Chains A and B, each alone.
Chain A
Amino acid sequence: MSTLLEYTTGPEGGDERRALVNTRKLVWWIGIPGALLVLGVMAFAIFEPIQVLPRIRLAPGYLLTDQAGESFTSEDVRGDITLYTFRHNNCGDDCAGIDETMAEVLERLGEVDFGDTDVRFVTISFDPERDTPEALAKEAESLGADGDQWRLATGRAAHLKNVIGAGFKVWYEERDDGTFGVDPTLILVDGWGVIRGEYEYRTLTSDADKIIHHLDILAEEIRNASGAAGLAYEAAHIFLCYP
Chain B
Amino acid sequence: MTRTTKFVLSALAGTVIVGLVAWFFVLPRFVPYVFHGQAIQSSQPAPSIELNSADGPIRLSDYEGDVVVLYFGYTFCPDVCPITLAKLDRALDIIGEGAEDVQVIMVSVDPERDTPEMLKEYVEHFNPTFLGVTGDTETIDRIATMYGVYYEAAEGSEATGYLVNHTATVMVIDRDGYLKLVLPFEGTAEEVAADINYFLR
Q: For A237, what are the chain B residues with a Cβ–Cβ distance below 8 Å?
A: 32, 39, 41
- A73–B11 alpha-carbon span in the complex (Å): 62
Residue B8 at the chain A interface, CB threshold 8 Å = no
Q: Which residues of B contact A (CB under 8 A)?
A: 10-11, 14-15, 18-19, 22, 26, 30-34, 37-42, 44, 47, 138, 141-142, 144-152, 167, 169, 171, 179, 182
Stretch at the interface among A60-68, A178-186, A211-219: A60-68
Q: For B38, what are the chain A residues with a Cβ–Cβ distance below 8 Å?
A: 55, 190, 192, 194
Q: Check if B40 sits within 8 Å of A194, measured CB to CB.
A: yes
Q: Is the interface of B mostly helix, strand, loop or mixed?
A: mixed
Residue A202 at the chain B interface, CB threshold 8 Å = no
Residue A231 at the chain B interface, CB threshold 8 Å = yes
Q: Check if B32 sits within 8 Å of A238, measured CB to CB.
A: yes
Q: Is the interface of A mostly helix, strand, loop or mixed?
A: helix
Q: For A73, what are the chain B residues with a Cβ–Cβ distance below 8 Å?
A: 150, 152
Residue A58 at the chain B interface, CB threshold 8 Å = yes
Q: How far is the CB of A207 from chain B (nearest CB, A)?
A: 23
Q: For A33, what are the chain B residues with a Cβ–Cβ distance below 8 Å?
A: 15, 18-19, 22
Interface size class of A (residues with CB under 8 A): 35 or more
Q: For B39, what are the chain A residues with a Cβ–Cβ distance below 8 Å?
A: 55, 237
Q: Check if B145 sits within 8 Å of A62, measured CB to CB.
A: yes
Which residues of A in the span 128-167 have a Cβ within 8 Å of any Cβ on B?
158-159, 162-163, 166-167
Contact of A60 among B11, B146, B182 (CB under 8 A): B146
Q: Check if B42 sits within 8 Å of A56, measured CB to CB.
A: yes
- A71–B155 alpha-carbon span in the complex (Å): 14
Q: Check if B18 sits within 8 Å of A158, measured CB to CB.
A: no
**Count of A-B contacts judged by CB separation below 8 Å:** 101
Q: How far is the CB of B25 from chain A (nearest CB, A)?
A: 13
Q: How far is the CB of B32 from chain A (nearest CB, A)?
A: 4
Stretch at the interface among A3-11, A22-30, A93-101, A105-113: A22-30
**Which A residue's beta carbon lies closest to that of B13?**
A29
Which residues of A in the span 13-62 have a Cβ within 8 Å of any Cβ on B?
25-26, 29-30, 33, 37, 41, 54-62
Q: For B42, what are the chain A residues with a Cβ–Cβ distance below 8 Å?
A: 55-58
Q: For A59, what are the chain B residues with a Cβ–Cβ distance below 8 Å?
A: 148
Q: Check if B148 sits within 8 Å of A166, measured CB to CB.
A: no
10 A-B interface contacts by CB (under 8 A) = A33-B15, A33-B19, A55-B38, A55-B40, A57-B42, A58-B147, A58-B179, A62-B150, A167-B145, A234-B34
Q: For A235, what are the chain B residues with a Cβ–Cβ distance below 8 Å?
A: 32
Q: Check if B14 sits within 8 Å of A193, measured CB to CB.
A: no
**Which B residue's beta carbon lies closest to that of A226?**
B34
Q: How far is the CB of A165 from chain B (nearest CB, A)?
A: 10
Which residues of A in the span 73-97 have a Cβ within 8 Å of any Cβ on B?
73-75
